[in-house]
Amino acid sequence: MSGAPDLGALARDRADRRALARTTRALRASGLARVWAVRYPPLREPEAAALAGGHVAGSLAALAPPYRAAFGVLLRLVPAAFRLVTGRRLEVASPEVLAAGAGRLERLPVLGTVVRTTGTLACYGALDGVRPAVAARAAGTELPERAWPNDPR
Partner 1 sequence: MAERPAVIDCDALVIGSGAGGAVAALELARAGRRPIVLEEGPEVSVADIADASPAENMRRLYRNAGLSPIHGRPTIAFGEGRCVGGTTVVNGGLLWHPPADLLDRWALRSGVDGYRAEDLDAHLRDVTRRLSVITHTERPPANRDSRLLAVGADALGWRRQDARRAVRGCRHSNRCATGCPTGAKQSMALTYLPQARRRGARVDAGTRVVRIAHDGRTVTAVHAVGPDGRRTTYRPNVVFLAAGALGTPALLQRSGIHARRAGRHTAIHVNLRVNARFADPVAARDGTIFTTQLHEFADLGILVMPANLTPGTLAASLAGHAPRVLERLLADIDHVGTYTVQVRVSGSVRVTALPAGGLLLRHHLRASDRELLRFGLRQAARVLFAAGAVELYAPERRVLRSVEEAEAFVPRADPRRWDLVSVHAMASCPMGLPERGGLCDGYGRPYGLRGLHLCDASVLPGATGVSPQGTIMAFAHEITDRYLALPRLP
Residues in contact with partner 1 by CB under 8 A are: 3, 5, 10, 12-13, 15, 38-42, 51, 55, 58-60, 62-67, 99, 106, 113, 116-117, 119-121, 123-132, 135-148, 151-153
Length reported for the chain: 153
Q: Which is nearer to partner 1, 83 or 103 (CB)?
A: 103
Q: Toward partner 1, which CB reaches closer, 87 or 145? A: 145
Q: CB of 153: closest distance to partner 1 in angstroms? A: 6
What's the Cα-to-Cα distance from 20 to each of 23, 26, 63, 66, 115, rounded to whole Å?
A: 5, 10, 10, 15, 19
User: Which CB atom, from 3 or from 87, has the smaller least distance to partner 1?
Assistant: 3
Q: Please return the burial class of 130, using the count of CB atoms within 10 Å of its CB with bins 0-12, 13-18 and 19+.
A: middle
Rounded alpha-carbon distances, angstroms, from residue 133 to 45, 103, 129: 19, 36, 12
Nearer to partner 1, 91 or 152 (CB): 152
Residue in 127, 98, 103, 97 with CA at minimum distance from that of residue 115: 103
Q: Of 87, 138, 102, 86, give the one whose Cα is nearest residue 30.
A: 102
The answer to whether 126 touches 48, Cβ cutoff 8 Å, is yes
Nearer of residues 44 and 87 to partner 1, judged by Cβ: 44
Q: How far is the CB of 141 from partner 1 (least distance, A)?
A: 6
